[in-house]
Amino acid sequence: MIKRCLFPAAGYGTRFLPATKAMPKEMLPILTKPLIQYGVEEAYEAGCTIMATITGRGKRAITDHFDISYELEHQIQGSDKEELLVGIRALIKNCTFTYTPQNEMKGLGDAIHKGKALVGDTAPFAVILADDLCVNPDGEGVMTQMVKLYEKYKCSIVAIMEVPHDQVHKYGVISGREIEKDIFLIDDMVEKPDNDKTPSNLVIIGRYILTPDIFKIIEDTKPGKNGEIQITDALLTQSKKGMVLGYKFQGKRFDCGSLDGFVEATNYFYNNLKELKK
């Protein structure tokens, strides 16, 4: 039912300079795979086949990554290196990749709004922030879990997790009533509150399912935290008009937008992907 996934990828990635001076942060690899490919694989597992990326200047490597590289593929044809491209080739074959630039850095809400031309405004769609890398070694991917929940509730859903209280200022924070195990009916949302003014310690991570009425709501949303159009503010409006759920997902999330999270993810994948150590 949810066929389209939006990947906001216009940010500069300044925390990873100089690595991100000429290379998009979404292309930083965890082992041999760029972050955005993990996100695309998660969306594909969830049933999405249209991968729509909001890009910015200097992001061409993302477009090239999801395209055939004839010269390289010709070079390695018939060698055991071909095996390394099996995953990306399958994505290229089975998905359609579309792109549009954000032009100006006006916040995540604005970036998502730019995606309207790519995902349309008639069907719900997924959003994945590639620097939040999610895995669920014991079962379905996080987006697959969310799509299943969408099928039941048919409303916007944000993935949430608990963090220590002194960390909430880095995130959008929700509060709500637990209506089923791990499912919260949201009654408040605040983008990056001060640690002592937070409604809870349940924070939003980079996985959303949004119903298309969000576009009109974003258009009516005033700049919020840091003078940017915040998706958190638009979702609060949507929750007041109807309902928005917070879903405490099964699995692990690595904050690959920070050096600590990036190293943690690298170690995790290195220790868990035995075949890479052959």
Residue of 10, 48, 91, 129 that binds ligand G1P (CB under 6 A): 129
Q: Does 13 engage in binding with ligand G1P (CB under 6 A)? A: no
- Using a 10 angstrom Cβ sphere, with 0-12 exposed, 13-18 middle and 19 or more buried, the burial of residue 37 is buried
Q: CA-CA distance, 199 to 207, in Å (whole number)?
A: 20
Q: Does 132 engage in binding with ligand G1P (CB under 6 A)? A: yes
Q: Which is nearer to ligand G1P, 91 or 204 (CB)?
A: 204
Q: Which is nearer to ligand G1P, 3 or 169 (CB)?
A: 169
- Cα atoms in the Cβ-side hemisphere of radius 13 Å centred on 137: 7
* 170 and 131 Cβ atoms separated by less than 8 Å: no
Pair of tokens at residue 80: 């055991």
Q: Does 28 engage in binding with ligand G1P (CB under 6 A)? A: no
Q: CA-CA distance, 130 to 80, in Å (whole number)?
A: 29
Query: Minimum CB separation from ligand G1P for residue 257, in Å?
Result: 6
User: What distance lies between CA 161 and its chain's CA centroid?
Assistant: 15
Q: CA-CA distance, 129 to 3, in Å (whole number)?
A: 17
Number of neighbouring beta carbons within 10 Å of residue 175:
16
Residue of 37, 102, 198, 232 that binds ligand G1P (CB under 6 A): 232
Q: Does 146 engage in binding with ligand G1P (CB under 6 A)? A: no
147-206 residues near ligand G1P, rule: CB under 6 A:
171-172, 191, 203-206
Q: Which is nearer to ligand G1P, 42 or 132 (CB)?
A: 132
Q: Which is nearer to ligand G1P, 46 or 112 (CB)?
A: 112
Q: Does 110 engage in binding with ligand G1P (CB under 6 A)? A: no
Pair of tokens at residue 208: 């959303």
Query: Minimum CB separation from ligand G1P for residue 205, in Å?
Result: 5
Q: Which is nearer to ligand G1P, 26 or 132 (CB)?
A: 132
* 113 and 229 Cβ atoms separated by less than 8 Å: yes
Strands (E), the chain: 4-8, 29-30, 33-34, 50-55, 96-101, 125-128, 132-135, 156-162, 172-180, 183-191, 202-210, 244-248, 252-255
Residue of 2, 6, 108, 234 that binds ligand G1P (CB under 6 A): 108
Select the residue whose beta carbon is closest to ligand G1P and give its number.
Answer: 172
Contacts with ligand G1P, 60-99, as mask; x by CB under 6 A: ----------------------------------------
Binding residues for ligand G1P (CB under 6 A): 108, 129, 132, 171-172, 191, 203-206, 230, 232
